[in-house]
Amino acid sequence: MFEMPIALSRAAFSPREVARAADLWGAFQDLAVAGSSHAGYPPARYVEERISFIVRRMVVLHHRETPFGEALLGTTWPSRFRRGMFFRR
C-alpha cells in the first residue's frame, strides 16, 4: 500500500472554490504512477522493458466536494498483477 498527500493547483478549482472532477482524476493518475514507482516500477522501467500498466478499475470514495486548500491524502495499491496481450484495431 502506498500513501501520499495530493496537492491540487489553484487552477484546479472553479469560481465556486471547489475542485474540478478532471483535475481530481488527473491527481489520481499521478498517485498511481507514484505508487508504481514506489513499488520499483518507475516510468523509465516501463519504457526500458517495453511494457505498460493499465488501470482496469478505480474506486474513489467521494463524500463531498473538495474545497480549495483542503489537505488530501491518496492511497493506492495493486490488487493483482497479470500478464496480458492487448491489441488495438
Full pLDDT tens readout for the chain, 89 residues? 899 999 899 999 999 999 998 998 899 889 989 998 998 889 999 899 888 877 777 777 778 888 998 889 988 887 666 666 555 55
- Which residues have C-beta within 8 Å of that of residue 28, sequence separation ≥ 6? 58, 60, 74
- 55 is a domain residue: yes
Is residue 64 assigned to a domain? yes
Counted domains in the chain: 1
What are the distances in angstroms from CA 43 to CA 24, 49, 60, 86?
A: 21, 10, 24, 19
Look up the domain containing 54 and give its range: 2-76
User: Could you tell me if residue 56 is inside a domain?
Assistant: yes
- Cell numbers of 79, please? 490488487
CATH, residue 69: 3.10.129.10
Chain-centroid distance of CA 74 in Å reads 8
| 0.85 exceeded by pTM | no
User: What's the pLDDT score for residue 3?
Assistant: 94
